[in-house]
Amino acid sequence: MSILVTGAAGQLGAELCRQLAGEATGVDIDALDLTDRAAVLEALRRLTPRAVIHCAAYTQVDQAETDVARCRAVNVTAVESLVEGCRRLDCPLVQLSTDYLFAGSRGIGRPWREDDPPIPAGVYAITKFESERAVTAWAKHIVVRTCGLYARPSHLAARNFVKTILRLARTQPKLRVVDDQRCTPSYVPHVARAVLFLAGVDRAAPAPWGIYHVTNRGATTWYAVASEIVRLAGYKTTVEAITTAEYPLPAPRPAYSVLDTTAYDRLGGPAMPDWKAALAEYFLELKRLPGP
């Protein structure tokens, strides 16, 4: 029995399938419409996976403010169907979640722990909170909250902050990036290793059921990350710090969404490097890729 990975064409789903190799059965929207309950239940019955890792999600946070029904269908209804199917198979369900659960707060003076009540704001964050409640209704669940994912540079179709900054810095003399949102952007290969550890792949059993925070280490801002990207790339582009108010967007962004990873660390899983070391690893692979 393989491990079913949803969202297999996305950043994390693709990396999980890569690390799992022949143990993974990856599905994406072209193979399975997760908003179709009957299709989901039939797929689980037919595949009988030993675990489901659910990476698929509606992540266009600004578009979600007006595309509410579709966002809820993908982020909530689909999860409810997966929970139902996993119950029938007595199958563990690993759900990927987000630091946006704390978008409605400016912070409480320390990184957020798993037992801190979420304070979602915006359609995307609210639906992800609802999806967590759906998952945790099934006993055999692991919820992994993470932040600011960016895939390997070899994942050419991936869209993320790092690729956006590199693209803009090639042609623009100055970038304006917000400096009042503190978080921990995380490199997908590191997060994927941690997810597979929590799921119990290649171990006798998964981690204790529950919620875990998994990010790279340290706290930073998008301005600081952009500055480090430009430095590592060797560009002369100037990066200017601005406030969130100077760059208004439809959906609320977390002002402080640094996640406390102590619960994961205590389990002895694969180490999560500092965010700067993670970016340096990204650039090492980027330099090994063939040029255009």
Q: Catalytic positions, please?
A: 124
Q: Which residues of 72-85 are buried (b: 16+ CB within 10 A; e: fewer)?
A: bbbbbbbbbbbbeb
Nearest one of 269, 113, 105 to 182, comparing CA atoms: 105
Residues 6+ apart with CB under 8 A from 83: 93, 134, 135, 137, 138
DSSP string, 130-164: HHHHHHHTSSSEEEEEE-SEE--TT-TT---HHHH
Tokens of 226: 């952009």
- DSSP state, residue 76: I
Strand pairing class (220-221; 182-183): antiparallel
Spatial separation of the C-alpha atoms in residues 128 and 69, rounded to whole Å: 13
Residues 6+ apart with CB under 8 A from 48: 1, 89, 91
SS3 call for 186: strand
How deeply is 50 buried, as exposed, middle or buried, from its count of CB atoms within 10 A (0-12, 13-18, 19+)? middle
